[in-house]
Each structure stands twice: as C-alpha cells, then as structure tokens.
Amino acid sequence: MLPEDIYKRKHFGTPQSFFLITVNFVVLTLAIQIFAACNQIQWYFWAVVAGLAAYNAYKIHHDREEYDKIRIIAYIISIACMVLLFFAFRRNLHC
C-alpha cells in the first residue's frame, strides 16, 4: 500500500524554467521557418510571438517561487539567443 503523502511530495527534478526555455526555442524556430520566410514577415508570426509572450508571463507568474537569480539570468540569456536565432535564420534563407 502506498503512503498517503506520496502525491503531495514536491519533485526536485527538472525545473520548470528548463521546459519554458525549451518551448520558447521550439515555437520560435517553427514560427520563423513557417511565417517569416524570405523578405516578408507575415502577421501570423507576430501573433505567435505575442502568444508566446503571454504564455511566458503566465508561466513565470504561476511558478514565481522557482525563479531565483540564476534562473532569471538563464531566461534573459535565452531571450537574447532567440533574437540572434531570428536574425540568423532570416539571413540564411535562400529564396
């Protein structure tokens, strides 16, 4: 028989910030490839970016106690890397 508090224990495995950063990179990469090709950025791309920003705001607000100084720095660095990723993908597209 399982103890009663087994489902109430906090899991100290992979932090939620890792999943948030991973989702950000995957969604942004797909959005760039689909909606920001060649010389034209479609408005769908900006809608995806706005949705991603809203999702990030919700997740950070929801898991506020998890974000310490190191995870905040990692999140900010990931945002900067995503901006660089956008320009790198746009530069390397061959139309």
pTM for this entry: 0.78
Residue 18 belongs to some domain of the structure: no
Q: Shortest CA distance to 68 belongs to which of 23, 11, 16?
A: 16
Mean pLDDT of the chain: 86
Residue 4 belongs to some domain of the structure: no
Residue 20 belongs to some domain of the structure: no
- Which domain does 57 fall in, by range? 42-95
Residue 87 belongs to some domain of the structure: yes
Residue 32 belongs to some domain of the structure: no
Residue 93 belongs to some domain of the structure: yes
- DSSP state, 38? T
Residue 81 belongs to some domain of the structure: yes
pLDDT band of 11, cuts 50, 70, 90: low
Query: Which residues are within 8 A (CB) of 35 and not within 5 positions of it... i.e. 6 or more apart?
Result: 41, 42, 44, 45, 48
The pLDDT score that the predictor gives to residue 88 is 86
**Tens digit of pLDDT for each residue in 48-87?**
999 999 999 999 999 888 888 999 999 999 999 999 998 8
Residue 12 belongs to some domain of the structure: no
Which CB contacts under 8 angstroms, 24+ apart, belong to 75-83? 75/17, 75/20, 75/21, 78/21, 78/24, 78/25, 79/24, 81/25, 82/24, 82/25, 82/28
Number of domains into which the chain is organized: 1
pLDDT band of 9, cuts 50, 70, 90: low
Which CB contacts under 8 angstroms, 24+ apart, belong to 38-41? 38/93, 38/95, 39/95
pLDDT band of 44, cuts 50, 70, 90: very high
